[in-house]
Amino acid sequence: MRLNHSQAGGWGRRGECPSASQPPPSCETSVVRFPEESIREHPGWEGGNGLFPGGTSSLTGCMLQASMRSSNMETFKQQKVEDFYDIGEELGSGQFAIVKKCREKSTGLEYAAKFIKKRQSRASRRGVCREEIEREVSILRQVLHPNVITLHDVFENRTDVVLILELVSGGELFDFLAQKESLSEEEATSFIKQILDGVNYLHAKKIAHFDLKPENIMLLDKNIPIPHIKLIDFGLAHEIEDGVEFKNIFGTPEFVAPEIVNYEPLGLEADMWSIGVITYILLSGASPFLGDTKQETLANITAVSYDFDEEFFSQTSELAKDFIRKLLVKETRKRLTIQEALRHPWITPVDNQQALVRRESVVNLENFKKQYVRRRWKLSFSIVSLCNHLTRSLMKKVHLRPDGDLRNCESDTEEDIAKRKALHSRRRSSTS
């Protein structure tokens, strides 16, 4: 059963038109400001700024972070990054970030340089709070694992913080899968196992990623039979402290856990829910909770409203379904932990029969590819439409000439828009 908008409950209005006093909006539809943090939204969500009932604005959140942080700020190199690296072609761009390929002069090794635009004042809405950048860098400096992207260096100038990151050039996992002719569950679990290994490492350090989704699961090199997976984008990651309650509303709606939607205390369990959604999509091409509107998506999540449609799961093993069921559990205490997920017989068969079932069961690649292509086209179309809409709205408010601010209307998030990948709701028809 699908819940309608009125049943979603508890979520305030979003997507209000910007006032003339506000800076021009970008066309980035996956970032909206909520209590203390940015919420990276699904491309179908409206853009603009929003408030959670009883919450604070992102500006206030930055001020709170600034007042609470210790005097021991993260220190970044103040030298020019160009003195140490040859900066090359652009790899992607976001609302406040540009990623370029670079080569270290001293070694000749290639990396990815992520230029993050800093917020210049507390009153500004443009750029990223330094406190948020510090948190991301602090987490990246703690991690070193084969399935997690590596931070190599950090530079800072007046306008930007530049992260020198491991170059991950194999593209997204789902891009790779969409090119395959066939895929067994045994092959699929080899990828899921790598995701679990990376998350296991993070969770052992009490780090929650909070933005696990297909766009953040990349391949180091796609030109090998079983490519090496890398988890990327730690912009929403947090260290979970024992005895410290942490609440927030952020992430990509299609993949967020019910406790995020309900503004309840958050922990490592939220990542496990996201892994369940990713696995569901990987096996079927369908998305378990994605509705026609953001409210419907959120309502489906809080109601845990999903099923295994025979149309999409006719060749899926019961072991695989059991793995997903035990991850998509509303009560966090009953949801699989990362260790339990790694021990699940679908990931680690306990006998030859389980291994055989996994080997003979296949992924629904036909539907996976169909939905992949459709969603890619729809997302590209929606980006252009939204850009045009926002530009026209802004012109009416500030009486700009038609060519006045069109350059501000551009694709924004590196993952959600520049790549334009995701999958379509399983409930929509082929003509939708």
- Both tokens of 182, joined, read 């066939």
**Does residue 280 contact residue 342 with C-beta atoms inside 8 Å?**
no
CA distance linking residue 290 with residue 97, whole number of Å: 28
Q: Which of 374, 381, 366 lies closest to 428 in space, CA to CA?
A: 374
**Does residue 179 contact residue 385 with C-beta atoms inside 8 Å?**
no
Those residues with Cβ within 8 angstroms of residue 148's Cβ, 6 or more apart along the chain or in another chain: 198, 201, 202, 230, 231
Residue 209 main-chain phi, psi, to 5 deg: -75, -45
**Does residue 93 contact residue 416 with C-beta atoms inside 8 Å?**
no
Which one is catalytic: 86, 160, 175, 211? 211
> For residue 353, how many other CB atoms are within 10 A of its CB?
10
**Does residue 167 contact residue 305 with C-beta atoms inside 8 Å?**
no
CA distance linking residue 163 with residue 13, whole number of Å: 35
Sign (positive or negative) of CA dihedral 172, 343, 271, 368? positive
Those residues with Cβ within 8 angstroms of residue 83's Cβ, 6 or more apart along the chain or in another chain: none
Pairing type for strands 229-231 and 217-219 reads antiparallel
User: Does residue 153 carry a catalytic annotation?
Assistant: no
Helix or strand holding residue 104 (H, E): strand 97-104
Cα Rg of the chain, angstroms? 21
- Both tokens of 83, joined, read 């003195």
- Both tokens of 146, joined, read 């084969």
Those residues with Cβ within 8 angstroms of residue 23's Cβ, 6 or more apart along the chain or in another chain: 124, 125, 126
Those residues with Cβ within 8 angstroms of residue 103's Cβ, 6 or more apart along the chain or in another chain: 85, 86, 88, 109, 110, 111
CA distance linking residue 168 with residue 148, whole number of Å: 10
Does 100 count as an annotated binding residue? no
Axis-axis angle for helices 365-398, 269-284 (nearest 10) = 120
CA distance linking residue 160 with residue 141, whole number of Å: 19
Query: Which residues form the catalytic set?
Result: 211
Task: Point out the annotated binding site for ATP.
Answer: 118
Task: Point out the annotated binding site.
Answer: 118
